[in-house]
Amino acid sequence: MPCKYGEEICRFQAFNIGLYDKDGKLVEKVENVALDKTEVTKIPAMNGKPATAAVLLNCDDWGFGHFILDDETIKVFEQSLGNVASKIDRAVIIGQVTAMMKQIEFPATKLPQFLK
């Protein structure tokens, strides 16, 4: 539900995408991805990129929103969060997992696996 005093407009949003390997190492960063005001945002900069083990939306904590991790990305970071070189990205991952837990999209019992 919109805020009582909020403006009902979609503001420009941009974020970075981090592409990680199975060991939690950053392979590549796609920067300044603009979010379209549509149901699906096409990202031409991702065309031709090889598939990576994990994808971190909002890499570098640029954007504002509810970003979730897919199951494969969760598996990678459960095993290798300590290998993520960027402290900001580690905080983003933990924040996304915590937000998913609050929305019942991630079981709270698995949180210690991330934090060990």
Query: How does pLDDT run across 16-53, given as a tens digit for each residue?
Result: 999 999 999 999 999 999 887 778 888 999 999 989 99
The reply to whether 8 falls in a domain is no
Domain range spanning residue 81?
14-115
Looking at the predicted structure, is the pLDDT value of residue 74 above 90?
yes
- Going across the sheet that includes 14-20, the strands are 26-34, 14-20, 54-59
Residue 3 covered by a domain: no
User: Residue 51: what pLDDT?
Assistant: 92
Determine the Cα angle at 79 with ends 23 and 116, to 5°: 130
The pTM for the full model equals 0.83
Could you tell me if residue 18 is inside a domain? yes
Q: Which residues contact 42 (CB under 8 A, 6 or more apart)?
A: 36
pLDDT of residue 26: 97
Chain segment 79-91, per-residue pLDDT in tens:
999 999 999 999 9
Query: Could you say which DSSP state residue 24 is in?
Result: S
